[in-house]
Amino acid sequence: MNEMTGCRESLGWFPRVTIEKYSADQVRWARGKLTGYRADWRSGKYHTGQLLGDWLRSVLPYPECGTVTDTGNGVTLAGLTNWAQVLTGTGGHPLAPGRTVFGVGSDGLSMFEREHVHLSPLEDEGDGRTWYRPMDPGYPQPLGLTSIEGQATFTETEACFAWHEWCWASGPPEPQAHHALHGAYGMEGAVMVNRKAHPAGYGVKEAGVAWVFRTQIELLG
């Protein structure tokens, strides 16, 4: 609290979520179109052989299985500690391309608590309950002056369960897709920055489809 003005000074973190759901037919068609595709070296936007959200939006008019939107989440205590270390240059893991993962899970009953360190706090992480995957190349990235955009494309065999929660996490470079957060980073240090639990859920992802999880985080002063 500012004693001179009586105003509370703070930095806010406000996410807006969109999940784009591409059907199995759309995914098969897009996979076929990727065959023999070569990246546009002038823009560097697409990556040969990878089914990414940017690519899907460029070749398909809309996701046939619709979209889901949501807002808000909570920042964890570990996430706040990590940012303090990054800002002071004393350690921590920045939210940078090649270091940041998106996590989704099936636990919609455990509401957010600052002490959470991974998804699925009710039953613990596990194959069929949680999945963490690196963000698409180039993400997260600045969006305007005070926003950050994150995106991850969950392909045909990934995270095939009911989605009720999500998070961002950061850690050492070059994480891999895995059902456990520390497994994604090779058992090295990793930090779940935030978490959102949604009791009604975002739907059930089935094998053969691709869902693109997009988040725009606005930093509010």
pLDDT at residue number 4: 40
The Cα 37–Cα 49 span in angstroms is 7
What tokens appear for 163 in the block?
A: 């989605």
| Greater pLDDT, 195 or 44 | 195
The Cα 11–Cα 49 span in angstroms is 40
Spatial contact of 169 and 101, defined as CB atoms under 8 Å apart: yes
Q: What are the pLDDT digits (tens) for 138-196?
A: 999 999 889 999 999 999 999 999 999 999 999 999 999 999 999 999 877 899 999 99
Distance of CA 50 to the CA centre of its chain: 17
Spatial contact of 40 and 93, defined as CB atoms under 8 Å apart: no
Determine the residue type at 201: G
pTM of the model: 0.90
Q: How far apart are the first and last CA of the chain?
A: 14
Spatial contact of 120 and 167, defined as CB atoms under 8 Å apart: no
Residue 180 three-state SS? coil
Which of 29-43, 93-107, 117-131 has the least mean pLDDT?
A: 29-43
pLDDT at residue number 173: 94
pLDDT tops 70 at residue 2: no
pLDDT at residue number 220: 80
Phi, psi of 21 (to 5 degrees): -115, 105
pLDDT at residue number 6: 44
| Greater pLDDT, 48 or 90 | 90
Contacts of 179 (CB under 8 A, 6+ apart): 125, 126, 127, 128, 129, 130, 131, 132
Give me Rg for the CA atoms of the chain. 18
Share of the chain above pLDDT 70, in %: 88
- List C-alpha distances in Å: 100 to 25, 29, 149, 157: 30, 29, 12, 21
